[in-house]
Structure 1
Amino acid sequence: MKYIKIASSALNGLRGLLLFALVSAFWGCGSPSGKPDAGGIAISFDDHFIKEWYQLRPLFQKYNAKATFFITCPDSLNAEEIAMLKQLEIEGHEIGFHGTVHAKSTELMAAGGPKGYIETELEPGLRHMHAAGFKPTSYAHPGGNHNDRVDSVLLAKGFTILRDVAISRRKFKGFQLYAWPPRWMNAIYYAFDGEQKVDALMIDYDEVTEEEVGEAIQEAKENGTALMVFGHEPLYSAPENGKYGFNVSFLAAVLREADQQKLKFYTMSELPKVK
């Protein structure tokens, strides 16, 4: 029994250390400091909802906002979608890359090494992107899955910023496991320090509230940082039939608040370039 108690105590201590490390990584001991008057917001969107994103143009134009669109499965791009993406690019938005097959990068790396990963997930999609006239310099990890080996390959391929996923809420079988206030999640604020590996807060349906994002926007303004957020498909009602995405009215509220707070709108590739 004595040994069981010791083992249990050690396990609890380990759990405490892991929790502390996790909290420190996201919450820290205070918000990161950026650059005076550089406070802003970097909005991005993932996957292949091109027509749906294109329909948001009037909303972006209303607030003079720009965003980054991370494209996956570019081999399926048709002429109409390419024209839409080019128009978005003309209007100041960025076209980024989200992988060829949207697979788990760590599994591809483990199975085929850097060569297999490049030949499966990177080169085929990039060839299609280049053929369509796009030269992406930003990359969003599919599913937020990656490790240092994956990152090193992506940086060597010329990507200047790699975007991961940060989640404010986590549920399991309908039960909420945790809820972190975004204003305390240091990882989602860009401090204009040249960092190339970043996290963005997911704003899909039921992931975060308007009030919480409003507080995060205020945090970015006060500290001269850029709040990074992202979503998937634009939705006009609660998601059904396995759909996932953000409510358009929610995005409108984010843009309105950012505009009222006079935040700058950044594309992802612009962030490391700010001096």
Structure 2
Amino acid sequence: MSSKIKGLAIVILLIFVTFSCQQKGETLEKAGIAISFDDHFIDEWYALRPLFQKYDAKVTFFITCGDSLKEDEIEKLKQLEADGHEIGFHGTVHNGRSTDFIEAEGPQKYAEMELIPGMGYMRAAGFAPTSYAHPGGNHNDRVDSVLFAHGFEILRDVAIANRVYKGIPLYSIAPRVMDWIYYAFDKTRTVDALLIDTDSGLTHDDMRDAMQRAADTNTALMLFGHEPLHGGPKAGEYGFDIAFLEKILIEAHARQLQYYTMSELPGL
């Protein structure tokens, strides 16, 4: 082989190796976690600020019933937003039967009932949500099309690992094999997040394994909950154990997972 050909081969090899390493590094840097919280537990979420700051975590808060936002709640949400968290939207009246309503009344009536009033309240309070969490996880392509037409960048659905009906276990799926709760950075705009509330039946091992999969596959694990609770829920409460959330944050930190807000995902 002539010296010119050898030199050219070496240059090509160096370019290939450099490009491959850069691509691998860029992909590895994306492994992360996207946590969100639903409904209207603003005081309770705000109380978690020290926990989020301790682990440098950023999350998304999906707000419903924007017409009832109090001045102090607005200020707390603005502070959370200033901290790097996202303020998303969770519907005007939290109607968990969006598909039935849009079938019966049509897309315009659906928007007038569930989207337009609440988004007006949010804008008046100083927020411009670009992510939406389906109330009750109820939606179809027709509902989604209306939401996208109103400017939402990403729509989040609900995933449950353990389903029980009237005390009878229906199914149980290990989160590490639930492909649909991992964001692959493929520009997808309809996603599913895994419920972590106390009635989800999840364990610390489940979360550790799920985050390890995210680290191994360069994806983002998507999780969500409702009200922060100290221990188990009391009558009428539904939410996640704060100690369980901290375990998740500890595991994410140990694996150097990045934190993503929901609207960041489709743009990466």
Q: Same fold (TM over 0.5)?
A: yes
> Deviations for 1:10-35, whole angstroms, at most 9, x for unmatched residues?
xxxxxxxxxxxxxxxxxxxxxxxx93
Q: In structure 1, what is the equivalent of residue 249 of structure 2?
A: 255
| 1:162 and 2:142 correspond | no
Hey, what's the Cα distance between the residues in 2 that align with 1:108 and 1:172?
25
Q: Does 1:123 align with 2:121?
A: no
Give the TM-score, by structure 2 length. 0.89
CA contact (8 A) 1:68 1:96 kept: yes
Q: 1:229 aligns with which of 223, 228, 235?
A: 223
CA RMSD of aligned residues (A): 1.0
Partner Cα separation in structure 1 for residue 91 and residue 139 of structure 2: 12
Structure 1 match to 2:67: 75
The residue that corresponds to 2:239 in the other structure is 245
Query: Who wins on radius of gyration, i.e. which is larger?
Result: 2
Task: Confirm or deny: 8 A CA contact 1:46 1:230 kept in the other structure.
Answer: yes
Q: Mark the runs of 5 or more structure 1 residues left unpaired by the alignment.
A: 1-33
**Matched ranges for 1:33-112 at <5 A:** 35-103=27-95, 104-112=97-105
- 1:176 deviation in Å? 1.6
Q: Percent identity, please.
A: 62
What secondary structure sits across from 1:35 in the alignment?
A: helix
Pairs within 5 Å for 1:162-241 = 162-207=155-200, 208-241=202-235
SS at 2:221 equivalent: strand
Moved over 4 A (4+): none
CA distance in 2, matches of 1:249, 1:36: 28
TM-score (norm 1): 0.86
Contact 1:35 1:192 in 2 (8 A): no
What is the CA–CA distance in structure 2 between the aligned matches of 1:174 and 1:112, rounded to whole Å? 35
Q: Give the letter for the 2:41 counterpart.
A: F
How far, CA to CA, are the matches of 1:35 and 1:245 in structure 2? 33
Comparing 61-70 with 169-178, greater Cα deviation is found at 169-178
* 1:175 positional shift: 2.2
The total of aligned residue pairs comes to 241
Supply the distance in 2 between the matched residues of 1:178 and 1:209 (Cα, whole angstroms).
16
